[in-house]
Amino acid sequence: MQNYQSSRDAAKKWGVSERRINQYCSEGRIPGAQRFGKSWAIPVDAEKPGDPRRSRQRPESAPTQTAAGAVLDHANLMPLMNTAFTPGRCREAVEAMAAGPQRDIALAEYHYFSGRPEEAAKEVEPYLSSPDISARLSACLVYAYSNLSIGQIPRAKFALNELKSSLAAAGGQSPQFQAASAFIASTGAVLLHLPLPEEMPEASSFLPLLPPGLRAFALYVQAHYLYLKEEYAYSAGIVEAALAMDASRYPIPAIYLHLVAVMDYMSLKQPDRAKKHLLTAWGIARPDDLIEGFGEHHGLLGAMLEAVIKPKWPEDFKRIIDITYRFSSGWRRVHNPITGHDVADDLTTTEFAAAMLAARGWTNQEIAQHMNISAHTVKRYISTVPQKLGIHQRQELKKYMLK
C-alpha cells in the first residue's frame, strides 16, 4: 500500500516552502499526490519536480498541439485509471481533480468501474467530439464499454470505430498522440477479444511514453493478449513483474492485473495462486465497489468467483453475475460477428464456468472440488451443456468457450 507524507514534511525534505509544495500539487506536478479537504497527501517516494524553465521538453501533463491543431492534454487521458489513490477514497480522488474534462471523465470511469454504465455513458457523451484528443479517446473507450453493458450496440460500435480511426490518423502526429491512440485502441480491441488494428505499433514503442498508471494498465492489456495466445506463463510473468514495481500503486490497473493472473494460473491448473490474486484484487476493489472488472472477466476466471466470492460475499456475487449477464450479452453481439467465434450465449454462468474448466481438461472430480459442489452436480452440468449447444462430445466444448 502506498505511504504518504504531509506537505510540511515534503517541504522540509525538498528544501522549499509548504506553499510551493501545494502549488506543485495543484499544478499536477507530483504524481500520485491526493487532496483531502485543504491538505495534500504526497507519496513518500515522490521526487521533487524540476524547474520547467530549465527543461527542453514540455512537461508530461501539459497540453500539446497536434499537427492538425487539436489539443492533446495528457491529464484527460483516463485520469482515474492513472491516479494512485488509497482504496476506499476513490470518490475523494475524483473530487480533488480539476473541474472540467479531467474530473468529468474520471467520474464516468468511477461509475463504469463500479457497475453503473448508464451514468458513465451520459457523462462522457459530451466529450465524444472534444477538440482535446485525450478527452475524446477516453470518452470513446468509456462510451463503447458502457453501451455494451446497456445493450446499445450501434453506439458501442460507433465508439470502437472512432478509436480505430484515431489510431489510423495518428501516423503523422506527435509520438505522444500516437502513444495515446495506440493505448486506447489496444485496450478497446484486446479486452473484447477482437483483432488488433493493422496500424497497431509494437507495445514497446508506446509504453515508455505513457504515464505510470496507464503504463500499468497497458501491461495488463499486453498480459491479456498473451493469455489469448495461450502463453499463460509469459502472461503471468508480466503481471508479477508489473505488480512488483509501480503498478500496485494504481488501484484500477492493479485490479485488472490481478484478474489476468487468476486467468493465467487457472489455465496452468494452479488454483492456490489464482485464489491469492483474486482475493488481492477483491481487497483493492471492494472498499470503492469497483466490481465491474470481476463481471467482465467472469467466464475467464475458471469458476474462481463461485469458489471464493460467492460463499463469503453472496450479495456482491449476485451483483457481479448481473454485470456478467449484462456485459456478455452486449459483448457477444460485437465479438461473434467480427471474429466468427460462436461463443455460447444460452448457458447459465455456473454452467459456463464448469464448461470452461472441462474445456481446459479438468476432470469432473477436480471441478467439483474447486467449485465446492458434488461430482454428481458437475456431471449434470457437463451433460446439460452439450445438449444446449447441440454437440455430442466433451472435446467439442472448447470451440464454444472463451479463449
pLDDT tens digits, residue range 185-224? 999 988 888 887 777 888 888 899 999 999 999 999 999 9
Q: Tell me what pLDDT residue 372 has.
A: 78
Q: Name the residue ranges covered by the structural domains of the chain.
A: 1-46
How would residue 67 be classed by pLDDT, with cut points 50, 70 and 90?
very low
Percentage of the chain lying above the pLDDT 90 cut: 46
* pLDDT score at 56: 34
Residue 1 is predicted with a pLDDT of 53
Determine which helix (DSSP H) or strand (DSSP E) holds 5, and give its type and residue range: strand 4-6
Q: How high does pLDDT run on average in the chain?
A: 84
Mean pLDDT of 336-340: 55
Residues linked to residue 43 through DSSP beta bridges, in sequence order: 4
Size of the chain in residues:
403
Can you tell me the distance from the alpha carbon of 84 to that of 80, in angstroms, rounded to the nearest whole number? Answer: 8
Mean pLDDT calculated for residue range 15-20: 82
CA distance 71 to 257: 31
Q: What is the DSSP letter of 53?
A: G
Q: What is the pLDDT of residue 52?
A: 42
Confidence check: pLDDT of 69 > 60: no
What values do phi and psi take at 254, rounded to 5? -65, -40
Which tens digits make up the pLDDT trace of 351-374? 777 877 887 778 888 888 887 788
The reported pLDDT for the residue numbered 351 is: 78
Among 128-132, 172-176, 289-293, the least confident range: 172-176
Q: Which residue has the cell 479486452?
A: 191
Higher-confidence position of 64 and 118: 118
CA angle in degrees (0–180, nearest 5) for 403-202-137 = 80
Q: What percent of the chain has pLDDT over 70?
A: 86
- The maximal CA–CA distance of the chain, rounded, in angstroms, is 74
Strands (E), 26-102: 34-36, 39-43, 64-65, 71-72
Pick the residue with more confidence: 66 or 137?
Answer: 137
